[in-house]
Amino acid sequence: VQLQASGGGLVQPGGSLRLSCAAASGFSLDASSIGWFRQAPGKEREGISCIRRGDGITWYAESVKGRFTISRDNAKNTLYLQMNNLKPEDTAVYYCAAEGICSKLGSIYPEEYDYWGQGTQVTVSS
């Protein structure tokens, strides 16, 4: 399974970015639970959001809740992460991952996901 993450960049605090995660043909994102993770320098990779296959239930980490929105465009076979009101502490490499566990009740962890995109850098700085 190939996942291609894109959309990162440099943005000022309070700004917005939309990340995309496109899946290669032959793999349907709506048939898989998909997660977004991020890893800041010197820190462990953390799960920040996911969307569950089928019913589309979503989960967000407290650190991004109310600012980030995960969505899925089945026709384009693409996952999105809309990030608003960005803060310097959001600076990290962001990854999408597929074939994992997603529940609105709990966190997600890297070891639960089987396939990963290459990551896209998000830098929030003035």
pLDDT at 14: 98
Confidence check: pLDDT of 29 > 80:
yes
**Rounded CA separation 17/116 (Å):** 20
pLDDT of residue 105: 80
Residues 6+ apart with CB under 8 A from 32: 53, 98, 99, 100
Q: Which two tokens stand for residue 120?
A: 């896209």
Residue 46: its pLDDT value, please? Answer: 96
The tens digit of pLDDT for each residue in 41-84 reads 999 999 999 999 988 899 999 999 999 999 999 899 999 999 99
For residue 65, the model assigns a pLDDT of 97
